[in-house]
Chains A and B, each alone.
Chain A
Amino acid sequence: MNEIIELGFWQMAAAYVFIILLFLIIKARGINREKELFIGTVRMTLQLVLAGYILAYLFEANNVWLVILVVILMQIFAVRNIFRRVKYRLSKRIKQMIMFSMAAGTLTSIFYFILVVVQVSPWFEARYFIPIAGMLIGNSMTGISLGVQRLVEGMYDQRAHIESALMLGAHPKKASERIVNQAFDAAILPTINSMVGMGIVFLPGMMTGQILAGLSPVTAIQYQIAIMLGIVGCVSLTVILFVQLGYKAFFTDRAQLDKKELLLISSKEK
């Protein structure tokens, strides 16, 4: 059982047959989702095949500039994805805060992880740098999207509360404290929940992949624990940076609610 089973053509084909069966069932039941299932399957296949070749090339080349380029592309993709995911129209100021929090939070975490935890040498070793950066950036992207959504929504829905607190002499920070905390909670909870269920409810993808690829479960688990801690830390750091900056966008320098910012949000769905 120590040998790794390579998936051959017919074995891969059998995996697709499984989806085709599902496709037929969906069609027979009249559930109008066969188009999405088809596009999804094709997209996933093409993306992964492409990613496989690109990763193989990057690992082979192991060039510092290529690694930096990949991380920059990941950041751009993540930030654009955050802008798209949030239902509200965002001002330039909030967008800049998102970009700053993502860059500062994820880069700090990536380098801590690479240099202190895994102690990769050279630091740009593509085999480690790219997957770790991908996981930390990807999870932070999800976290910060939830945080932005909740912060923007909270500031808009509770503007009367905030203004009422300001009228009594509250600092903007104090007046929006509850909303900032709720935004942080919303952003970090899914990550904490997935950490709690890990190993019991499901085996995480990375670990499953490593075990199937022949690595000892103990080593796979060590990596998984380290990665999970890295993800929680990284998501927390990026979200804290964002919410601590983000609320300020809603106030003028006279500590008044910024009506322009609220107006932009009230124009709502993009």
Chain B
Amino acid sequence: MFLLKNVTYGNILEIQELYIPPGKVTCITGESGSGKSTLVKLLNNIISADRGTITYQGTPVEQTDPVELRRKVVMVPQTPPVFGGTVKDNLVAGLEFSGHPPAEDSLLTEVLKTVCLEKKLDESADQLSGGEKQRLALGVALLLEPEVYILDEPTSGLDETTERKVIENIYRNISGRGKMLLMITHSKAVAEEYGEIVVEMADGKVAGVKERHR
């Protein structure tokens, strides 16, 4: 769980208090420029707040080893880059980055299925479209099995049908295992269907928090 108190970041974000409970799906919605991406970057500690405290499981993130924290709180950016080579190279690179041993090809193929990426492991990753790159990055995140998945608009490059399928698969993969999914989404429908907590952002502030039961 995350707790943010009096957090500011430049003139982009100002949050008095926000509690994100553990083991749930939290959707963050809001207009472009409302501070959604900045908020999740702070949770992943890829940027640091100017003021205020952010705690993860009771410990301020600034006092945690940043690399260890990010291995528990993995984030996939909105337009994830590919690391060259094949689809498999990218999945393996993700594992290497976070200090995991290499995985069997069968597991890698399984992950590709979960994110609805119908590509062979030896296909070139550079040839993938934007939406396919996004799904490949989601696959990497799933392989890492962190405590928290932070996904910044994970399906913005997908058509509605594929988007639903991918999110449903990720939800099934994560839910019921005590893991936390934090997802920025533009889609009200996705937020309403999957978000157990929906945080509405506006002008860098939390405009509202709704709790739902799925």
B103 to chain A, nearest CB (A): 14
A257 to chain B, nearest CB (A): 8
Across the interface, which residues of A come within 8 angstroms of B146, CB to CB?
169
Asked whether, in the complex, the Cβ of A169 is within 8 Å of the Cβ of B81, the reply is no
Asked whether, in the complex, the Cβ of A167 is within 8 Å of the Cβ of B71, the reply is no
Q: Is A35 an interface residue (CB 8 A)?
A: no
B52 to chain A, nearest CB (A): 15
Asked whether, in the complex, the Cβ of A164 is within 8 Å of the Cβ of B80, the reply is yes
Q: Is A161 an interface residue (CB 8 A)?
A: yes
Q: Is A29 an interface residue (CB 8 A)?
A: no
Q: Which of A163, A165, A254 has the most CB of B within 10 A?
A: A254
Q: What CA separation (Å) do A117 and B93 show in the bound complex?
A: 43
Asked whether, in the complex, the Cβ of A175 is within 8 Å of the Cβ of B97, the reply is yes
Q: Is A27 an interface residue (CB 8 A)?
A: no
Q: Which of A168, A254, A256 has the most CB of B within 10 A?
A: A168
Contact status of A169 and B70, CB under 8 A, knowing A256-B45, A256-B47, A256-B48:
yes
Across the interface, which residues of A come within 8 angstroms of B140, CB to CB?
168
B130 to chain A, nearest CB (A): 13
Asked whether, in the complex, the Cβ of A255 is within 8 Å of the Cβ of B141, the reply is no
Across the interface, which residues of B come within 8 angstroms of A171, CB to CB?
67
> Of B46, B71, B94, B98, which contacts A163 at CB under 8 A?
B46
Q: Is B13 an interface residue (CB 8 A)?
A: no
A251 to chain B, nearest CB (A): 10
> Of A158, A169, A170, A254, which contacts B48 at CB under 8 A?
A254
* Residue on B nearest A255 in the bound complex, by CB: B66
Contact status of A164 and B81, CB under 8 A, knowing A169-B97, A256-B47:
yes
B136 to chain A, nearest CB (A): 12
* Residue on A nearest B79 in the bound complex, by CB: A160
Q: Is A174 an interface residue (CB 8 A)?
A: yes
CB-contacts of B38-85 with A (<8 A): 44-48, 62, 66-68, 70-71, 74-77, 79-81, 83
- Ordered by A's residue number, 14 sampled pairs between the chains whose C-beta atoms are within 8 Å are A161-B83, A163-B77, A164-B81, A167-B46, A168-B97, A169-B68, A170-B97, A170-B98, A174-B96, A254-B48, A255-B67, A256-B45, A256-B46, A257-B46
B residues in contact (CB < 8 Å) with A: 44-48, 62, 66-68, 70-71, 74-77, 79-81, 83, 93-94, 96-99, 137, 140-141, 144, 146
Give 5 nearest A-B pairs by CB, closest first: A169-B71, A170-B97, A169-B98, A167-B75, A169-B70
